[in-house]
Amino acid sequence: MAAYMRIPKTCQVLLNVNYFSSAIGLRVRVAFSSTTGNPEFTSKRVRSMFTEFFRDWHRHKLVPSSPVRPRGDPSLLFVNAGMNQFKPIFLGAVDPRSEMAHYRRVVNSQKCVRAGGKHNDLDDVGRDVYHHTFFEMLGNWSFGDYFKEEACSMAWQLLTDVYGIPPDRLYISHFGGNATLGLPPDEETREIWLSLGVPPGRILPFGMRDNLWEMGETGPCGPCTEIHYDHVGGRDAASLVNQDSPEVVEIWNLVFMQYSREADGSLRPLPQLSVDTGMGLERLVTALQGQRSNYDTDLFTPLLSAIHQSSRCPEYRGRTGRADEGNVDMAYRVLADHIRTLSICIADGVYPGMSGAELVLRRILRRAVRFSTEVLRAPPGMLAGLVPTVVEILGDAYPELHREKERIMDIVNDNEAQFLSSLKQGRGVIDRTLQKMGGAQLFPGSVAWSLHRNLGFPLDLIGLMLEERGVVVDTEAVDRLAAEEEKLKTQTQCPDRESCTELDLYSLSELQGTGIPHTDDSPKYHYSLGQDGRYAFPCCWARVQALYSSQALVSEVGEGQRCGVVLDQTCFYAEQGGQTHDQGYFIRDGLQDVLFPVEAVQQVGGYVVHQVTPGDALRTGDRVQLFLDKAQRLACMVKHTATHILNFSLRRLLGDGVQQRGSHVTPDRLRFDFSVRGALSGQQLQEVERTVQEIIARNEDVYVQELPLTLAKRIPGLRTVDEVYPDPVRVVSVGIPVPDLINSPTDRPTSVELCCGTHLLRTGEIQDFVIVADRQLVKGVSRVLAVTGETAREAREAGHALVQEVESLSARLQSAGSALFSAHRLSKEVGLLTDAVESTLMPQWQRKDLQHRLKAMQRTANTAIRKLETSEATEKAQSLLKKHGSKAVVVDTVEADSISVVMKVVNQYSDHAPGSKVMLLSHLQSGRVLCACQVPKGCSSLSASDWALAVCSHLGGNAGGSSTVAKGTGNTQDITEALRWAEEFACAKTQH
């Protein structure tokens, strides 16, 4: 440990503090005040000082924050730490062509959301003054470069010299070890802090919960050392560290990435040692501005002021717990926090919805609405009115907030209105349930869960609403229903198939360590269009570099042993960029009659892995010949090029506000998700479709060229999506050569995108294009499905045929006679045709038009039926009145084919004989009996529902209704006996 007892080398070469301070325009304070802070320490200044410190003086690359929606990581709902975007580096799985593969030292300010999964602070927000769902993580990283000594030295220098925080305000925690897992205490880190001059009494060991950092249930992790800040000072506050004290809070966490948490809970060493640090900007600013609460800094005070002006509530006073009467200050904090989260998430394309991250955001929005309306009594729309203030505070650091401001406000307003409507509906459900409970004190868990799951009611809101009525929720039932839904969700999810294609961390590291070169997959682009109009896909010879089976690299696999095959080169396309993987087979040199089917293809860390179930033995070093499923590849090329043209056409019609939110290309169809205000109309869909078809008809050339990423991004009109692109990158342009886009910019709009997919060489090969479905995924995001080629032609023909059927039925409906039977038949035909329009593959714009027409036709048919039934019922009721008059009990038969007619006859009879108890039965040829009855309102001796239920049960059927009107069905061959039994039942009840 002697090496750590000296002053580290890093400290000897650290910046001259005064020079650095003057360079960034801020004088370091000699005296640090806990009560006043430094007015020059604005949040913007603190953020820039951090990034400039590491960028300018320690050679860190400044990278932008990634969006809060994780890139291709299903284990996370949101980006919850600064290291999330660098996870492929920690795992050794980064694409070697990407810029990220060359990162060694990095710094940034990362947008983070902790409102779901392992790190979830949602329920704590508002209760204290330092928890948030959205926060900014200032971080510096080393990927196999410096480690513990340099990381601690830099952190200490920045905090004490640059920011001027007195060392006696700081406490250090470090990992104290875990005997069960065989992890020793991190004494190395303790010695480093001692060498930096930190007193031994301020360096405190803690266990895994506090000082072994893990990103999620699985993935990179390691021991960490945390720096805690004492807001009071002038005392020994060691006993308050990690005790959730608002006076002593953690501000910086230095994580030493050494392990990967496996699915079985074990820890395995990472291929390289790395550093991941994270310091919450909000807490740092609080300390530097001399505040005790994050909400008293310039990151929040403008929001609190805006809330006060909009709600007309008492000013924010910063109270918590019992001192916060009516939870008013808690509501202020909830709104200020949640509107930041909503703004950031929506700007990054995460919209309130019904599953995953979208569901969490929906809960956040509704929690904010609840506090806004229930506690602060603010008017509707106030929440969205806070968005411009968020943009003003954070927009300089995150420019997407400026671009998306209007969309954010629209989505917040729409969802608030929807929830307020649900609140009204939910209150009605609660009121009706309480009436049925008859004074019971335990509210049914099934009703509470339904309100929560279907109407989006926060469970705590349900509890508060019931508490006002002196009732509590059956929480055991709610927990049971929640567990059942989670179990069902797990069962219905696709089971994780045993994957031989995704190399595990250690096998990937072994491949890299043995010097096996990355797979050359450029042959996947080697195809041409012949003079005969056919695409030629040449086969490809390759050599087996590695075999992967049962989570290990092996030298040989036997027949039927499912495995992953790494080749030195391949013409197969690995799934990426929204395009599904190729299929096909290869044969082994010298074994021409045995096929090795390729079932899936994936790219991992620069290696292309083919999932194969061999038909014979396969060894490393074997030479194989690859054969592509040409029809499947060509179908994907058609759909992918059509997707680019669709993207262009949507922007051309709806404006540049359209942003791609996802896409998927298969041989059968394409799917495209995009941000847009409201659902697309049938006319808009038709116009988009027409634009795509025009480009197809022009048979334009599709140009593809590799360019340096920085040059490609300068192309006017270039469309990109949120992902890490390789460098160089492939530019796909329709109709205009790529060099012309750079050297001779034109005003002619065209489709130009960065894309690694495979594309047609001319647009005419698409042949035809039809949008067959569209829907809103969530407010502000729509999805379209489309087909091409022969399938599109068939869809168009199917649509034309249905149009003719609808027109024919419409004509027959208009000329229909006065027969009730004919009216019912036509109504049934309308229903069958409606089902056909709903389920048939056809143009979506045409489907919407036909659905609109069929709804109108259904209304016309139903109106005609009601009129004919009323006329027929009037005639039959008059006949029965002549027969029975105003008898006390009337039981008889009536000829009618529908229960609706029977019911109308009963109603009309009762209107003319209000004192009579009437039951009519219709005996159909099949033996089925239709029953309807009505008794005078207020009749205590006989209930209509009891009467109908007794008779229909006697006939082997069932019935239902109210005390005055009821109906049902049964079966009998002796209707006379049924009439007698019904009348005797009524008379017996009346006599009693």
Whether residue 498 has pLDDT greater than 60: no
Known binding-site positions:
640, 644, 755, 759
The one-letter code for the residue type at 811 is A
Q: Which two tokens stand for residue 67?
A: 């969006």
d(C-alpha 77, C-alpha 350), whole Å: 10
- Cα separation of 148 and 255, whole Å? 9
Known binding positions for Zn(2+) = 640, 644, 755, 759
What six digits make up the tokens of 899? 């229960």
* Whether the Cβ atoms of residue 289 and residue 298 lie closer than 8 Å to each other: yes
Query: What is the pLDDT at residue 502?
Result: 62
Q: Give the residues across from 544 on adjacent strands.
A: 567
Q: Do 556 and 506 contact (CB within 8 A), yes or no?
A: no
Tokens at 523, concatenated:
């042959």
- What is the distance, to the nearest Å, from the Cα of residue 182 to the centroid of all Cα atoms in its chain? 39
| pLDDT for residue 778 | 81
Residue 721 has pLDDT above 90, yes or no: no
pLDDT for position 119: 56
- The CA distance from 988 to 947, in Å, is 11
List Cβ neighbours of 956 (8 Å cut-off, separation of 6 or more).
Answer: 970, 971, 972
Yes or no: say if 636 and 583 are a contact pair by the CB < 8 Å rule. no
C-alpha 774/C-alpha 644 separation (Å) is 17
Which helix or strand (DSSP H or E) is residue 355 part of? none
State how far Cα 29 lies from the chain centre: 46
Average pLDDT, the chain: 88
Long-range contacts of 2-7 (CB under 8 A, 24+ apart): 4/149, 4/188, 4/191, 4/192, 4/194, 4/195, 5/191, 5/194, 5/195, 6/195, 7/195, 7/196
Rg (CA), the chain: 36
- Amino acid identity of 593? D
Q: What pLDDT digit, counting tens, does each position of 860-873 carry?
A: 999 888 999 999 99
Q: pLDDT tens digits, residue range 113-157?
A: 988 765 566 778 888 888 899 999 999 999 999 999 999 999 999
Q: What is the dihedral of CA 501, 503, 504, 505, to 10 degrees?
A: -160
70 token code pair = 């994780």
Q: How far apart are the C-alpha atoms of 301 and 726, rounded to whole Å? A: 42
Tell me whether the omega of the peptide bond preceding residue 716 falls within 30 degrees of 0, making it cis.
Answer: no
> Which tens digit of pLDDT belongs to each residue from 344-374?
999 998 989 878 888 889 889 988 998 998 8
What pLDDT score does 117 carry? Answer: 60
Is 702 in contact with 757 (CB distance < 8 Å)?
Answer: no
The answer, yes or no, to whether residue 587 has pLDDT greater than 80, is yes
Angle at 949 between CA 945 and CA 950, to 5 degrees: 120
Question: Which tens digits make up the pLDDT trace of 459-475?
Answer: 777 887 788 788 899 98
Q: Is the dihedral of CA 69, 70, 71, 74 positive or negative?
A: negative
Per-residue pLDDT at 8 exceeds 80 = no
The pLDDT value recorded for residue 815 is 80
* Proportion of the chain above pLDDT 90, given as a percent: 62
Nearest to 190 by CA among 256, 242, 259, 249: 256
What pTM, to 2 d.p., does this model score? Answer: 0.78
pLDDT digits (tens, 9 = 90+) for 916-968: 999 999 999 999 999 999 999 988 899 999 999 999 999 999 999 999 999 99
Q: 75 near 61, Cβ under 8 Å?
A: no
Residue at token pair 């406000």:
409
In eight-state DSSP terms, residue 812 is H
The pLDDT value given to residue 216: 67
Does residue 7 have a pLDDT over 60? no
